[in-house]
Amino acid sequence: MPLIAGEIDWDGAVVSVRVGVSQNRRMRLASAGFVVPAEIPLRLQLDTGSHLTGFPTAVYRALQITPFDEIPISTPSTTPGQVCMASQFDVSIFLDAPDGRTRLF
pLDDT the model gives residue 103: 56
CA distance 57 to 61: 6
The one-letter amino acid at 26: R
HSE, CB side, 13 Å, CA atoms: give it for residue 51. Answer: 3
Cα–Cα separations (whole angstroms), residue 16 to 13, 40, 42, 95, 104: 10, 11, 6, 6, 12
pLDDT the model gives residue 41: 93
pLDDT the model gives residue 99: 66
Question: pLDDT tens string for the chain (105 positions)?
Answer: 556 667 787 877 788 889 999 999 999 999 999 999 999 999 888 777 777 788 999 999 999 999 999 999 888 888 888 988 999 999 998 887 766 656 555
- pTM of the predicted structure, to 2 decimals: 0.78
CA distance 103 to 62: 20
pLDDT the model gives residue 58: 95
